[in-house]
Amino acid sequence: MVISEIRWSNFSRWLLTLGLGAELVVVLVAVGRSPGGAKVLPLVIAGFALVFLLLRLVQTVRVAVEGMELTVGFPIFRRRIPLHSIDEVTPVHYRWYQWGGWGIRYRRGAVLYNVPGDRGRAVELKLKDGKKVLFSAEDPDQVCVAIRAQRAAMPY
């Protein structure tokens, strides 16, 4: 059951597309002017296509409960957390620059899964081992209620 799903904002998607497009034009002009550039051109285009595809794969943070586990993260980079290992669930507000950007961000004892355009809204899980997992959420309060309800319904 999916509890939360948040995507990059439309502005962020357009900015990414425009930025990659502008960079591709600059690189294509530079490669086209260099001797032997025609041989490298398909590799350059393939490289940009791969970067664009990878960025598309990390544009949605999904939170779901599957059995007795909470799954948090992006479609290809996610983490499974047993519900019984969660000690506390709280809504928080964070600043992206404190974490160094967007995507999967690591700190000592903590990891953040976030997307641009989430306005700093997140859920913080404090695990019984002392580590923290944070993730972007459209409505952190509602996500916290849903996770707490799932934990309460678990047979121990």
Q: What is the pLDDT of residues 122-150, one digit of tens each?
A: 999 999 999 999 999 999 999 999 999 98
**With contact defined as beta carbons under 8 Å apart, do 51 and 90 qualify?**
no
Indicate whether 44 pLDDT > 90.
no
Indicate whether 104 pLDDT > 80.
yes
Rounded-to-integer distance, Cα 63 and Cα 22, Å: 34
**Which DSSP state fits 17?**
H
Q: Would strands 132-136 and 110-114 be described as parallel, antiparallel, or unpaired? A: parallel
The pair phi, psi for residue 79, each rounded to 5°, is -125, 135
The amino acid at residue 133 is: V
The structure tokens 């999916």 sit at: 2
Strand partners, 133: 111, 125
**Which DSSP state fits 111?**
E
Number of structural domains (the chain) is 1
Rounded-to-integer distance, Cα 74 and Cα 79, Å: 9
Q: Whole-prediction pTM value?
A: 0.78
What distance lies between CA 102 and its chain's CA centroid? 7
Helix, strand, coil percentages, rounded to 5, for the chain = 40, 35, 25
- For residue 90, give the CATH number of its domain: 2.30.29.30
Percent of the chain scored above 70 by pLDDT? 99
Residue-number span of the structural domain to which 132 is assigned:
1-156
User: Mean pLDDT throughout 58-75?
Assistant: 88
Quickly state the pLDDT bin for 117 (edges 50, 70, 90). confident
Q: DSSP secondary structure string, 37-97?
A: HHHHHHHHHHHHHHHHHHHHHTSEEEEEEETTEEEEE-SSSEEEEEGGGEEEEEEEE--HH
Indicate whether 15 pLDDT > 90.
no
Arithmetic mean of pLDDT over the chain: 88
